[in-house]
Structure 1
Amino acid sequence: MKSLSRYAAVLLACAAPVVSVFAQDTAPAVSQQVPAGAPKLIVAISIDQFSADIFAQYRQRFTGGFARLTQGAVFPAGFQSHAATETCPGHSTILTGNRPAHTGIIANSWIDQSVTTGPKVVYCAEDVAKRTAGSRDYVASPVHLLVPTLGEWMKKANPAARNIAVSGKDRGALMMGGHDIDQVYWWKGKQFVTLAGREPGPTAIAQNAEIDRLLAKGAGEFPLPAYCRRADRAVQAGDVSVGNGHFALKAGEAEQFRVSPRLDRATLDLAVKLVDEQKLGRNAVPDILSVSLSATDYVGHATGTEGAEMCIQLTQLDLALGDFFASLDKRGIDYAVVLTADHGGFDIPERLHEQGLEKTSRVGPEVSAEALSATLGKRYGLEPKGLILSDGPAGDYWLRKDLDVGLKGKIIDDASAILMTSPFVEKVLSAAEIAATPMPHGSPETWTLAERARASYNPLHSGDFVVMLKRGVVAIPQARKGYVATHGSPWDYDRRVPILFWRKGMTGFEQPSPVETVDIAPSLAALIGLKTPKGHLTDAASISMVARQTRVEHRSERVAG
C-alpha cells in the first residue's frame, strides 16, 4: 500500500500540460485538495472477455486505440485472481480495490432460498426486493455490491466530482459505477436504458434514435482484414456452424446488432456524448467515466475466440477506441486511461480438436445438480427435486436449506466423492474448507485452487460446495445458437487479463510480472491525490510495487486547444 503513491507519481511526472477549450467554465468548490498535475478525467475501460492471450495474439495487429495504450504502462499479466471468472465479479474488482470475497459479487448469479417471489436464482445486478409476481423482467441495481467504487470515493471527497458509467450490460456499468452514480446507461433490447425511476437524458435519447435508424435500414458486412483470413472457415459445434461470420446486419435485427462490433461503437459514441453533456473533465476536481465494452464477450460466447468473427471484432474495437481517444483529444481534456478486462475466455472444443488439442471437451451431464440430486436423494430417501441446486454445471452448489447440518455434511462428502469420479472434475471444495483457507497473498499465478476459491468466497452468497472442472473442460454440455463457448473457470486462460495505463506525455514501459486488477483502484486514487476510506482496500497488493522499479522519464508536451 505504501508504494501506491509512487505509481501515481509516475503518471503525474509523465503528465503533459493540457490547454482546455473549456477553461472558461466556472470551477466548483473543492472539498479535498487535488494535487497539481492530476488529470481532470479518469477513463476506466473494461473489455468483456478480453484475455491476456487474445491481447498477445493481436497486439502486433493493432493500429488504433490499443496501439496508443501500448505506448503507456503495459502489464500483460494482470489477474482477475479469483476462481469465479465471470462478468459481474470481474467488474466488481476493477474500481473497488477488493476481490469478490469482499465485494459480495461471487458470480453472475447465485441461489437464495429465502427469496419468496419468483425463482431462487438471484442475478448479481438485481434488486430482488422489487420483484413482482409473474414478471420476467427485473429491476437492475447495484444493491448487492458491498463496497464503494472509486467514483463513490471521489464524490465523497469532492461532491462536485461526476461519476458516469456506460456499458453494453447493466452489470458492467453498475459494478464499475456503484451506488452513488450521476448518470448510468446500458444496452437492453433495442436501446440504452438507465436505472428505474430515472429518465434518459437528451444525449441517450439522441443516441437511441441514431441506433433506431441503423436498425431500420440494416448494414452490410464488415471487411475481413487479410490477417483474419486464416480464421475464416466454418466449424461445426453440434448443430451450430461458426467461424466465418462477418456481421451483416439485417433490418430490425437488434440481436445481430448486440452480438457485433456495432454495440461497442455505439457505447463509445454515447460515452463521448456524455462527456459533453455532463461537462466531464472541465472542472477543478477530477471526474470519472467508466466504459464497459461488451461485444467481445457476446461474440466469444456466440462464436468462440478463434474464428473470423473475433478477428473482425478486435479489429473494429481497436478502430473504435482510436476514434474515442481522438474525440477526447479534440476536446482538450487532460485525461488518464486504464484499460483491462473482467475475465478471459476459451475457444470451442470442436475447433481446438482440429488443432490437435484433444484434452478439451464439453462437460458431461453427471456433473449437474439434477443428476446429483437424483442419486443422493435415492441414497438418503429424500425428495430429489431441489435437494441440490446450482446455476450451471460448475461453480457454487447449494443444499436444500431445511436439511440437518450433520446430514448436509454427509451429502457434501458423498457428492464430492461422486463428482471426483467424473473425468470432467478437477476439484470439489466444501464451504468449510474454503472459509478455513487464508486469504491468499503473493503472485496470483502461484495460488492453489483453494486460494482462488477463497478469493471468490463470501458467506452471504456463496454455496455449500464448489465444483471446479478440469483445465480445458467447457461448462456447456451442448452448443446452441448464441452460446457455444464460455469462461468462468479457475484456470489462467480465464484469469489472466491485460492492464494498460496511458496518459499523454508519459514514457512507456512494460512489466511482465503478475499483478491484480484490485491494484487498479488504489493506483488511480493515488494519482488524483484521493485519500481512500480506511479499511476498504484490504486486498490490494499494488501494481506500483512492480512499477516503481521502472524509471519513467518526464516528457513535457503541450496539447493545443
Structure 2
Amino acid sequence: MTGSVLLRKFIVAAAALLCACRSDAQPQPPVAPGAPKLLIVISVDQFSAELWDEYRPQFTGGFARLAAGTVFRNGYQSHAGTETCPGHSTITTGDRPTLTGIAINTWYDFSIPRADKAVYCAEDESVPGSSSSGYTVSAKHLKVPTLGELMKARWPASRNVAVAGKDRAAVMMGGHNPDQRWYFRGSQGFVTDLQGVAAPASLARTNTAVAAEIAQAQPGLDPPPFCAAKSKTYVLGGTPDSLPGPPRTVGAGRFERAAGDATAFTNSPEYDAAVLAIAASLTGEMKLGRGPAPDLLSIGLSATDYVGHRYGTQGQEMCLQLLSLDRDLGDFFNVLDRSGIDYAVSLTADHGGFDIPERAKTKLPDAANVDVALDSSKLGKAIGQALGLSGPVLRGEWAGDIWVDGSLAPADRKRVIDEALRRYRAHPQVEAVFTKDEIARTPLPTTSPDKWSLIERVRASYDPQRSGDLWVVLKKDVAPYPSTPALASTHGTPWDYDRRVPILFWRPNMAGPPRDEPIETVDIMPTLAAMIGLPLAQQSVDGRCLPVPGVACPAGVAGTERGKR
C-alpha cells in the first residue's frame, strides 16, 4: 500500500469532522484584513534545498501546489549545528539557536545530580529517574516563545496544536503549553506529554488504524521510471572500529516491511501519512480555523530524515519517499479545501543532509566518512593516557560540540583543551576547531547567511550554558559519522548541504516568481505574524518579515537589517 492510499484510508473519518463552526463567546482583538483563519507550518525533516531543486519537476501533488505560491529556494538554517532540535527551534520562534537555547540535540551538564550527564533537548532532567534516553518530554529548555504562544496571548480563543513523528519536532514548534501536542512513540502510537489534556476521539481512532497497518506486511512500492533510474546498490559494511552490524545493501529498496515491524514503518512513507492523518483528524475535531481567532497547526514530518539516515539522499528509496509525500500532502490539502477553511501554509526543513559517501564519491572525489579515531571517546582516552588522567576526558561525538569532562580540575581542563586542539588541528579531515572563548568573542553575523564565515555559523549555534568547550568542523564532504551498516548518512555540519533548505509560502492567489535571494528560517515566524496582524515588538526576533504577496510587513518589526538585537 502506498503512503498516499494509506492517508486516504486514515482520513475518511477525519473528513466528516471538518464541518461545524466553533463558537467562542469572548470578543477578540482584530486580525489583519483578509487574514487566514488557520496557519499551517510544516517541517519536512532533512528536506534539503538540493532535493527541492532536483525533484520540483516531478511533483504533481502537495509540493506542486506549494510551488505555485511563493518559493524561496535559498533558505538557510543558518547556524552550524544542523540537527533536528535546533532546526525546529528556529521555525516558529523567529530566533536562532543562540537565543532559543537549543544548540544541539543532546548536550552535557556536569552539574546535574544524576550519573547520566547528557541532557536531551526536549526532556525535563529534574524528573526523578530520568535519563537522556529514558526521559520525560518537556519544552522547559526552549528559552523563547513560539508563534502559537504569542497568538494565544493576543487572541485567547486561538488554538496552538503540534503534531509530529518526533517528540522534539512537536515540542520545539508547539512551544510551551500548547492546546494539543502529539508525537509517535512506537508500540504506543501517537502520545502526548501534556497533563490534563484529554485525548481527542479522532486520535484514538487514528492510532487504532495505524496499529492495524503496522500489523500488516508491506509488499513494497512500485517505483516509477524516474525512481527506478536511481536504483543502484551500495554495500555498507563498516569497519572493525565502527558500530557493529552485518553488511547492508542500500540504493534499490522499495520499503518492503514484515508484519509488526514498527521501525520499518517509521523508515518509510507510511510514517508521514500517519502524521498527516492525525493532523487532519485534529483539525476536524477541534474545528481549527473555524473560530473567532486564527489558529496554528504545526506539523513535523519525520520520515524523510529516517529514510535519509538509513538509505541516503540519492537512491531509489528517497525518490519513493518524496513522491509519496507529495501525494500525501496533496490529499491533506484537498481535505482542507473541501472543508472550506481559509488556511495558509508555510513549509521548510530543520536541516539538509549529505548522501552516503559510497555514492557521493561518484561526483565528489573527497567524499568520505569521518575517521573513527576522531570519536571523542577514543580521542579522549588517548589524551587522558598521554596526560596521566583517568576517565573519558572528552564527551561528544566525532565533530561539532565537544565537552571536556566537568570533574577535571581547572589546570587539567586547560591541559586537555590544549592537547585536544593540537590533535584535532593536526588531523587531515579537520577544517577548523574553535574554543568556547573564541566563539563567545565573535560578534553575531549581520550579513546574508550564505556569506557567513565558519565561526559566525558556529556563533549562531552557541549557548553559553549548553555549548561545548570546543567546536570541531570537519572538511567539506566528510560525513560526521563512521561507515556503518546502522546509519547510512547524516547531517550536522556547517556546510551548505546541511544548512540550505527551501522556504515556501502558499495561500490562494499568493503566486509569485521563484525567489533566489538567501533568507533564513527565522524569517518564517515574523512573516506569518504580519500575515495575521500579530504585533511584534521592534527587533524582538532574529528574523525579518519577508516580501510575500498579500503580506503587509510593519516597518521596523524584526528589522530589515540583521543583528540589531
Given the two structures, how large is their TM-score scaled by the length of structure 1? Answer: 0.90
Q: Does 1:459 align with 2:460?
A: no
* Alpha-carbon distance, 1:406 to partner: 4.7
Higher mean C-alpha displacement, 56-65 vs 248-257: 248-257
Deviations 1:317-350 (A, max 9, x none): 0000000000100000000100000000010011
Q: Does 1:420 align with 2:454?
A: no
Partner of 1:129: 126
* Alpha-carbon distance, 1:296 to partner: 0.2
Q: Does 1:39 align with 2:36?
A: yes
Contact 2:120-2:132 at 8 Å conserved across structures: no
Q: Which of 339, 342, 345 lines up with 2:353 in the alignment? A: 345
* Alpha-carbon distance, 1:223 to partner: 1.8
Higher mean C-alpha displacement, 198-207 vs 404-413: 404-413
* Counterpart Cα distance in 1 of 2:481 and 2:104: 17
**Match runs of 1:331-480 below 5 Å:** 331-353=339-361, 355-383=362-390, 385-390=391-396, 392-480=397-485
* Counterpart Cα distance in 1 of 2:420 and 2:534: 48
* Counterpart Cα distance in 2 of 1:412 and 1:326: 56
Partner of 1:271: 279
Partner of 2:192: 194
* Counterpart Cα distance in 1 of 2:376 and 2:277: 43
Q: Which amino acid aligns with 2:366?
A: K
Deviations 1:453-490 (A, max 9, x none): 00000012101111111111111113123x11000000
* Counterpart Cα distance in 1 of 2:327 and 2:286: 25
* Counterpart Cα distance in 2 of 1:443 and 1:158: 34
Partner of 1:13: none
Q: Which amino acid aligns with 2:120?
A: Y
Partner of 1:3: none
Q: Which amino acid aligns with 2:522?
A: V
* Counterpart Cα distance in 2 of 1:410 and 1:517: 39
* Counterpart Cα distance in 2 of 1:44 and 1:520: 9
Partner of 1:544: 547
* Alpha-carbon distance, 1:203 to partner: 1.6
Partner of 2:14: none
Q: CA 1:33–1:196 in 2, change beyond 3 Å: closer, same or farther?
A: closer
* Alpha-carbon distance, 1:200 to partner: 3.0
Q: Aligned pairs, how many?
A: 526
Contact 1:112-1:121 at 8 Å conserved across structures: yes
* Counterpart Cα distance in 1 of 2:274 and 2:323: 16
* Counterpart Cα distance in 2 of 1:407 and 1:360: 36
* Alpha-carbon distance, 1:28 to partner: 4.0
Contact 2:352-2:500 at 8 Å conserved across structures: yes
* Alpha-carbon distance, 1:79 to partner: 0.1
Q: Does 1:162 align with 2:159?
A: yes
Contact 1:92-1:175 at 8 Å conserved across structures: yes
Contact 1:399-1:408 at 8 Å conserved across structures: yes
Partner of 1:500: 504
Q: Which amino acid aligns with 1:152?
A: E
Q: Which of 284, 294, 297 lines up with 2:302 in the alignment? A: 294
Q: CA 1:258–1:131 in 2, change beyond 3 Å: closer, same or farther?
A: farther
Higher mean C-alpha displacement, 132-141 vs 325-334: 132-141
* Alpha-carbon distance, 1:277 to partner: 1.1
Higher mean C-alpha displacement, 56-65 vs 500-509: 500-509
* Counterpart Cα distance in 1 of 2:208 and 2:548: 47
Q: CA 1:25–1:128 in 2, change beyond 3 Å: closer, same or farther?
A: closer
* Counterpart Cα distance in 2 of 1:319 and 1:28: 39
Higher mean C-alpha displacement, 466-475 vs 21-30: 21-30
SS of aligned partner of 2:126:
helix
Contact 1:131-1:138 at 8 Å conserved across structures: no
Partner of 1:522: 526
**Match runs of 1:202-351 below 5 Å:** 202-238=201-237, 239-351=247-359
Q: Which amino acid aligns with 1:266?
A: A
SS of aligned partner of 1:129:
coil
* Alpha-carbon distance, 1:426 to partner: 0.7
Given the two structures, how large is their TM-score scaled by the length of structure 2? Answer: 0.89
Deviations 1:197-224 (A, max 9, x none): 4553212111110012112222321120
Q: CA 1:25–1:366 in 2, change beyond 3 Å: closer, same or farther?
A: closer
Deviations 1:135-163 (A, max 9, x none): 96211111110000000000011111000
Q: Unaligned 5+ residue runs, structure 1?
A: 1-20, 551-561
Q: CA 1:25–1:177 in 2, change beyond 3 Å: closer, same or farther?
A: closer
More RCO (CA 8 Å, sep 6+): 1
* Counterpart Cα distance in 2 of 1:256 and 1:30: 48
* Alpha-carbon distance, 1:445 to partner: 0.8
Contact 1:369-1:393 at 8 Å conserved across structures: yes
* Alpha-carbon distance, 1:179 to partner: 0.6
* Counterpart Cα distance in 2 of 1:547 and 1:39: 11
SS of aligned partner of 1:456:
coil
Contact 1:78-1:515 at 8 Å conserved across structures: yes
* Alpha-carbon distance, 1:112 to partner: 1.1
* Counterpart Cα distance in 2 of 1:133 and 1:267: 27
Identity of aligned residues (%): 47
* Counterpart Cα distance in 1 of 2:550 and 2:386: 56
SS of aligned partner of 1:128:
coil
Q: CA 1:435–1:232 in 2, change beyond 3 Å: closer, same or farther?
A: same
Partner of 2:15: none
Contact 1:46-1:292 at 8 Å conserved across structures: yes
* Alpha-carbon distance, 1:534 to partner: 5.9
Contact 2:377-2:395 at 8 Å conserved across structures: yes
Q: Which amino acid aligns with 1:359?
A: D
Contact 1:149-1:177 at 8 Å conserved across structures: yes
Q: CA 1:337–1:546 in 2, change beyond 3 Å: closer, same or farther?
A: closer
Q: Which amino acid aligns with 2:446?
A: H
Structure 1 ranges of 4+ moved more than 6 A: 545-550
Q: Unaligned 5+ residue runs, structure 2?
A: 1-17, 238-246, 554-565
Contact 1:434-1:453 at 8 Å conserved across structures: yes
Contact 1:235-1:350 at 8 Å conserved across structures: yes
Q: CA 1:185–1:363 in 2, change beyond 3 Å: closer, same or farther?
A: same
Contact 2:523-2:544 at 8 Å conserved across structures: yes
SS of aligned partner of 1:45:
strand
* Alpha-carbon distance, 1:366 to partner: 2.4
Q: Which amino acid aligns with 2:510?
A: M
Deviations 1:391-421 (A, max 9, x none): x111111112243445433432321121111
* Alpha-carbon distance, 1:450 to partner: 0.4
Deviations 1:511-540 (A, max 9, x none): 101000000001100111101256641x11
**Match runs of 1:110-125 below 5 Å:** 110-125=107-122
SS of aligned partner of 1:215:
helix
* Counterpart Cα distance in 2 of 1:479 and 1:485: 9
Q: CA 1:27–1:508 in 2, change beyond 3 Å: closer, same or farther?
A: farther
Contact 2:19-2:284 at 8 Å conserved across structures: no
Q: Which of 493, 507, 514 lines up with 1:510 in the alignment? A: 514
* Counterpart Cα distance in 2 of 1:358 and 1:515: 30
